[in-house]
Structure 1
Amino acid sequence: MEDMKKRKMEEGSNNGSDETSTTQDYLRSLLDPLNKPQLVDLLSRLGSQYPSIAEEIKSLASADPVHRKLFVRGLAWNTTSETLCSAFQMHGEIEEGAVIYDKATGKSRGYGFITYKHMESAQSALGAPSKLIDGRMAVCNLACEGLTGASTTPDLAQRKLYIGGLSPEISTEMLLHFFGRYGEIEEGSVAYDKDTNESRGFGFVTYKTVEAAKKAIDDPHKLLGGRTIIVKLADTHKGKTVQMQLPAPMVPVPVPMAAAGYAQPGKAPAGGGAPVGYPYPQTVASYPASSYPSPPVAPAPFPTQSQISYPQVSAKKESLGLSPTTPVGMGGYPYYYPKQ
């Protein structure tokens, strides 16, 4: 009897599993033709009605960290990992957060990462992407998007402004407060020197709408910190900067003739083939030897003259009082000795 009961229980469990698999296959066949918006709407309604389904959806969505990891840029050079995490912990439990430092210098590179434990925390942080941290306006987006995040939109060139002529006393808070009168700011900061952490006299402000940026440019009253500041589109300023840094035009330099043993333009290489420096094909010009002039004869280093001979003058012994002797002198001339 006991064996019969066990068999019936096993058969019942097998039938139940078969029915479950059949039901899943049937539901899959129904869901397969649906598009993504329809599936999202269906699961959201089921999740709101059944808490168990909502927990299942949450665990599946948070399984991949790509949906929970944020890239944070625009950090101050003195912002630490602890300061970064404290600024983002209001949105939920943080699994990991760190500022990225340069290995060579040990200084901050101006950006970091925040990884939340749950996906909804990351979505909450993305709802308010701009945060003022240590006097700088930091902006976050999903790390999988990198620098091509939420701020990279087709109208970004009409929303981002360059602010020049700033006083050294103007901080990021003062800059954002001044330009906040024209509309909601998405991102903005004063540019600081990495080494000295002092203002470089300019900054950038990115509005969420093009209309706010136009208001800031068109307002004639641009006095901040006792100075008249410059407000214009950032792309316009960037274009002028690039134009000023263009390299000087290249001046063509004649190429010297190659050394012996190397191919020269217009002459065939030693191993045959087309000449170097001319388009192919190219015929090598040849000239007869008679077309070249004979080399000039070098002039004599000194002019030659015929030897001048002078007649011998005989000495008179009466006037000189000498008597000639046997000629033994130089050049065949006789010597004369005094008369004794």
Structure 2
Amino acid sequence: MEDLKKRKLEETVGNAEFSSLEHLRTLLEPLPKPQLVDLLARLGSQYPSIAEEIKSVASADPVNRKLFVRGLAWNTTSETLCAAFSVHGEIEEGAVIYDKATGKSRGYGFITYKHMESTKAALKAPSKIIEGRMAVCNLACEGLSGSSTTPDLAQRKLYIGGLSPDITSEVLLNFFGRYGDIEEGSVAYDKDTNESRGFGFVTYTTAEAAKKAIDDPDKTFGGRNIIVKLADSHRNKMMQAQVSPAIPSMPYPVAAGYPQPGKPHGGVAPVGYAYPQALGSYPASYPSPTTAHASYASQPQMPYPHQVIGKKDATGLHPITPAGMGGYPYYMAKQ
């Protein structure tokens, strides 16, 4: 009997050591994150106390409660932004971001809820009209990597050109909503004047809806003929237009005195041309051109094509100096 009690006591002590916080931490640390998430999810579903603990820890982290809101009007204030998102729950902090140099809105802001459930509710309807423009939100930790940057965005985002100045973002979205659900969209406004720039963008949730808008033969909106095409193709066109045009080909400048194509030689050596090539060949044993030039520089010059024929030298050739060649001789066998 005493042996049985002793064995149970040892098992209890052993289990206590095995389930100690430090020992459990040692077991959990090497496990990969997906496995830990799965383990905690299963435990939370089985034990309500663990589920509450998980919610409490997660809600304490602002990462799960902070939203990034883009597409705001330039005149939207922090108060207006908070009022628009307060429908989902109590807001801990909210602000529009302004440029430090100009003091103007940068078109985006942040909302931090007190409870994670409020953030989830806001994310279920990420697009909302604020002062006539569609603002879009996602978790701030995701930055711009939300749904609008999915791989098929190029097939869902449209450029709408030729808009009337009185077309607002809300009117634009209502008009193009006939083709399908819109993820985000807005008229482009000038930052300084807050007036329409005559174009806008619409991003559909599906590529099929975007294709319907493009294929619709009726391109009349607000009493004007508009342009509807993929925004990516418009961007590429704009980039090509910004590339400098090719430099036109220019004729290579030719110094005065050189023969022009299709024209006879003028008979005058180019200005500054002090060392022309020999017009004929000469024996390898004869002095170099430099030496020959020095030897015959003093010979009289006559207008071209007259020639000055010197005395016959040892090679049996006659030095000949054409006018305009600066006294530079070439050699020609006596005919």
Matches within 5 A, 1:111-130: 111-130=108-127
2:69 matched residue in structure 1: 72
1:164 matched residue in structure 2: 161
The count of corresponding residues between Structure 1 and Structure 2 is 250
**What are structure 1's unaligned runs of at least 5 residues?**
1-14, 255-287, 298-340
**Which amino acid in structure 2 is aligned with residue 222 of structure 1?**
K
1:131 matched residue in structure 2: 128
Pair member with larger Rg: 1
Give the Å deviation of 1:118: 2.8
Matches within 5 A, 1:177-192: 177-192=174-189
**Which amino acid in structure 2 is aligned with residue 113 of structure 1?**
F
Q: Secondary structure at the match of 1:206?
A: strand
1:100 matched residue in structure 2: 97
1:22 matched residue in structure 2: 18
Q: C-alpha deviations, 1:101-152, integer Å up to 9, x for none?
A: 0111110011111122233322322222111111111111222222232211
| Cα distance in 1, alignment partners of residues 157 and 181 from structure 2 | 12
2:305 matched residue in structure 1: none
Between 1:115-124 and 1:126-135, the stretch displaced more is 115-124
Q: C-alpha deviations, 1:280-299, integer Å up to 9, x for none?
A: xxxxxxxx8926956989xx
1:268 matched residue in structure 2: none
Give the Å deviation of 1:212: 0.6
1:290 matched residue in structure 2: 290
1:207 matched residue in structure 2: 204
CA separation of 1:33 and 1:108: change in aligned 2, threshold 3 A: closer
CA separation of 1:20 and 1:151: change in aligned 2, threshold 3 A: farther
1:110 matched residue in structure 2: 107
| Cα distance in 2, alignment partners of residues 17 and 207 from structure 1 | 63
| Cα distance in 2, alignment partners of residues 133 and 20 from structure 1 | 58
CA separation of 1:289 and 1:151: change in aligned 2, threshold 3 A: same
CA separation of 1:102 and 1:36: change in aligned 2, threshold 3 A: closer
Q: C-alpha deviations, 1:165-196, integer Å up to 9, x for none?
A: 11111111110001111111001000011111
TM-score by length of 1: 0.64
Give the Å deviation of 1:33: 9.3
**Which amino acid in structure 2 is aligned with residue 241 of structure 1?**
M
Matches within 5 A, 1:264-283: none
Give identity over the alignment, percent: 74
| Cα distance in 1, alignment partners of residues 182 and 292 from structure 2 | 82
**Which amino acid in structure 1 is aligned with residue 217 of structure 2?**
P
Between 1:114-123 and 1:53-62, the stretch displaced more is 114-123
CA separation of 1:240 and 1:31: change in aligned 2, threshold 3 A: same
TM-score by length of 2: 0.65
**Which amino acid in structure 1 is aligned with residue 184 of structure 2?**
E
| Cα distance in 1, alignment partners of residues 13 and 77 from structure 2 | 55
1:222 matched residue in structure 2: 219
Give the Å deviation of 1:72: 1.1
Give the Å deviation of 1:32: 8.0
Find 2:234's aligned residue among 237, 250, 260. 237
CA separation of 1:28 and 1:106: change in aligned 2, threshold 3 A: closer
**Which amino acid in structure 1 is aligned with residue 130 of structure 2?**
I
| Cα distance in 2, alignment partners of residues 40 and 116 from structure 1 | 24
| Cα distance in 2, alignment partners of residues 107 and 292 from structure 1 | 81
Q: C-alpha deviations, 1:295-337, integer Å up to 9, x for none?
A: 989xxxxxxxxxxxxxxxxxxxxxxxxxxxxxxxxxxxxxxxx
| Cα distance in 2, alignment partners of residues 77 and 123 from structure 1 | 27
Q: Secondary structure at the match of 1:201?
A: strand
Give the Å deviation of 1:217: 0.7
Give the Å deviation of 1:96: 1.4
CA separation of 1:19 and 1:206: change in aligned 2, threshold 3 A: same
| Cα distance in 1, alignment partners of residues 75 and 20 from structure 2 | 56
| Cα distance in 2, alignment partners of residues 291 and 138 from structure 1 | 88
CA separation of 1:21 and 1:134: change in aligned 2, threshold 3 A: farther
Q: C-alpha deviations, 1:1-48, integer Å up to 9, x for none?
A: xxxxxxxxxxxxxx9998555225786798789876665455445545
CA separation of 1:250 and 1:61: change in aligned 2, threshold 3 A: farther
CA separation of 1:42 and 1:92: change in aligned 2, threshold 3 A: farther
Between 1:24-33 and 1:210-219, the stretch displaced more is 24-33
Q: Secondary structure at the match of 1:181?
A: helix
Between 1:207-216 and 1:114-123, the stretch displaced more is 114-123
Between 1:62-71 and 1:156-165, the stretch displaced more is 62-71
Find 1:147's aligned residue among 135, 144, 147. 144
2:265 matched residue in structure 1: none
